[in-house]
Structure 1
Amino acid sequence: MAGDLPDYYFRVRENGAAVFRVDTENRNRRIEMDQIAVVNVKNGDIKPHGERSLSEGDLKAIHDWMAARIGQLQRREVDDILRTVDHLNLTTQWAQSKASDAQLEDVTDALLLAMHDLRSVLVRKKADRIMKDQPAGPAGA
């Protein structure tokens, strides 16, 4: 089992992780985890724990984990948005087929405002992308 363990363990936190070096090569043959750093994936900070200095191997493992974690979070974010699209479709079906007048009264204003806000942002962002992709016209035209 000890041969299957990674050299590092990353305890996920809100904006990153606490980094531990995993040691199974001790005389008691126990798994020991020694905290070596704290990382922040939002700003890229790597702070050694206590008075430690991090080796090149430590830094490489941390940078590799951060890159993988950022990719994972970005994929999750897109997946969450696609789930929201599904939920909006389910909400539409609910409003059309099941919702009572009282239920609709409770949610209509909040939904309309949220959808209007979302639509405004999406339309503005799409227009920005279209304008950025169009070649610049002749000067003075």
Structure 2
Amino acid sequence: MSADLPEYYFRVRENGAFVFRVDTENRQRRIDMDQIAVVNIKNGEVKPHGDRILSEADKAAIADWMASRRQVLAERDVDDILRTVDHLNLTAHWAQTKAEDDQLEAVTDALLLAMHDLRTVLVRKKADRLMKG
């Protein structure tokens, strides 16, 4: 099993990850994980852990992970928005077919304001793109 383990492990956290070097080459034949850095995906900052100096291989592995992680997060953002579109459609169906008056009263103003805000942003962004193109 140890031959199949990656050289680095990234423990994902809210804004990035803790980076560990995985070591299986020890006398006890156990898996040791040595923290080598902390990564902030939002600002690209990589802080070596303690007094550690990162090797070029460490830096390359971290840079590869950051690029991959940014792509995953971007794909998730788009997927979340497409799920929102589905949810809006389900909400419209609920409002038309199932919602009671008191339920509609509880959600209508919040939905209308959120949809108005979203529409305003989307129309402005669309106009900006059309003006550039």
Query: Could you say whether these structures have the same fold, taking a TM-score greater than 0.5 normalized by the shorter chain as the test?
Result: yes
Matched residue, 1:136: none
Name the TM-score, length of structure 2 as normaliser. 0.99
The alpha-carbon deviation at position 37 of structure 1 amounts to 0.2
Unaligned runs of 5+ in 1: 134-141
Q: List per-residue Cα deviations over 1:53-92 (Å, max 9, x = no partner).
A: 0000000000000000000000000000000000000000
Letter matched to residue 18 of structure 1: F
Q: List per-residue Cα deviations over 1:94-124 (Å, max 9, x = no partner).
A: 0000000010000000000000000000000
Q: Percent identity?
A: 77
Q: 1:98 aligned to 2:98?
A: yes
Q: Aligned with 1:89: secondary structure?
A: helix
Q: Aligned with 1:123: secondary structure?
A: helix
Whole-angstrom CA distance in 1 between matches of 2:22 and 2:8: 5
Unaligned runs of 5+ in 2: none
Whole-angstrom CA distance in 1 between matches of 2:62 and 2:116: 42
Q: 1:86 aligned to 2:86?
A: yes
Q: 1:70 aligned to 2:54?
A: no
Runs of 4+ in 1 over 4 A off after TM superposition: none
The alignment yields a C-alpha RMSD, in angstroms, of 0.3
Name the TM-score, length of structure 1 as normaliser. 0.94
Q: List per-residue Cα deviations over 1:14-65 (Å, max 9, x = no partner).
A: 1100000000000110000000000011011010000000000000000000
Letter matched to residue 82 of structure 1: L
Q: Aligned pairs, how many?
A: 133
Whole-angstrom CA distance in 2 between matches of 1:109 and 1:54: 54
Matched residue, 1:42: 42
Matched residue, 1:115: 115
Q: Aligned with 1:43: secondary structure?
A: coil
Matched residue, 1:8: 8
